[in-house]
Amino acid sequence: MADNPTSGGSKDFPANTKGGSSDGNSLVVCFGELLIDFVPTVAGVSLAEAPAFKKAPGGAPANVAVGISRLGGLSAFVGKVGDDEFGYMLADILKQNNVNTSGVRFDSSARTALAFVTLRADGEREFLFFRHPSADMLLQESELDKNIIEQARIFHYGSISLIAEPCKSTHLAAMSMAKKSGSILSYDPNLRLPLWPSEDAAREGIMSIWDQADIIKISEDEITFLIGGDDHNDDNVVLKKLYHPNLKLLIVTEGSKGCRYYTKEFKGRVPGVKTKVVDTTGAGDAFVSGILNCLASDLNLFKDEKRLKEALLFANACGALTVTERGAIPALPTKEAVLKLQQHPVAAS
């Protein structure tokens, strides 16, 4: 495929990114949306009440790519932004964080997606999205960087890219490319209900690719949404409704309480790490970065419960550190910071 003159690469990867289990060449490719979040400069107000907004880079798959790089891993991002100031700003932020951007495309006919996000005083999150359509929704299959996708040891994605065409077909094609080349498929549905036409459409869209994933990370709220009135704490309900024969690892995150894990051989729970909460934005993405970074360098973790639990404790610490600072990407931790927190846990105040 011809190089896109407007794409940039920040790292050249060795050809053998899928080599032996701990050779250091362990590329995670993240596919999906990259956007600007506008967050009120004061806490606890509605969007209408906010006196001003601060811009922050956002988009779960992009956060995960930066998180992995921050932890010392190899990552790449595949997606589309507008051929505008915000689009170039976002691509630059990825490059500054050592994320490979050879799969980033720029659309001259649509703008970079914007999201206004606030946490109101009543604890409810309020979203206002500008995607009518935005550039990320317009990524075409012909624009995919096949080379970088086929190098992925792990190919990670969400469900927002399944909402509209042409991005939906492009997403499915990229999954197929990755699977054929031997990548592990990782899925974090990351439910954003206001973006879907209806609750039923969201449920159907999220579940439409469920059976193809090797790894799925899901929150308690998302389980409740997907399976209805059944108890999301009941292991048997979770296994019956959400575990599929090809799945290697299902993780249920429980916020500050930690997470549960399910594989074909074993299941269990790992406690969270207590920290002082400033902003929960990006905590789930930091958790995903932590576990994928561990898995990318050692795919045998699936089979070894002791090592899997250690990796999940590490991922929990990644999430816990992220909530101590504002914003997602600025708060994503380094490996040194995570190990330090694990050795000297901070009491939550």
Q: Tell me the C-alpha distance between 327 and 281, whole Å.
A: 6
Q: Tell me the C-alpha distance between 124 and 135, whole Å.
A: 28
Q: If we measure between CA atoms, which residue out of 56, 9, 16 comes closest to residue 37?
A: 56
23, 285, 298, 304: which is the annotated catalytic residue? 285
Our measurement of the distance from residue 293's CA atom to the centroid of its chain's CA atoms, rounded to an integer in Å, reads 12
Q: Tell me the C-alpha distance between 315 and 348, whole Å.
A: 18
164: left (phi over 0), alpha (psi -120 to 50) or beta: beta
Q: Tell me the C-alpha distance between 56 and 69, whole Å.
A: 18
- Angle of helix 220-227 versus helix 235-242 axis, rounded to 10: 60
Active-site annotation holds for 214 = no
Q: Tell me the C-alpha distance between 203 and 159, whole Å.
A: 10
Beta-carbon count within 10 A of 297 CB: 20
Q: If we measure between CA atoms, which residue out of 13, 5, 8, 192 comes closest to residue 89?
A: 8
Report, as residue numbers or ranges, the catalytic residues. 285
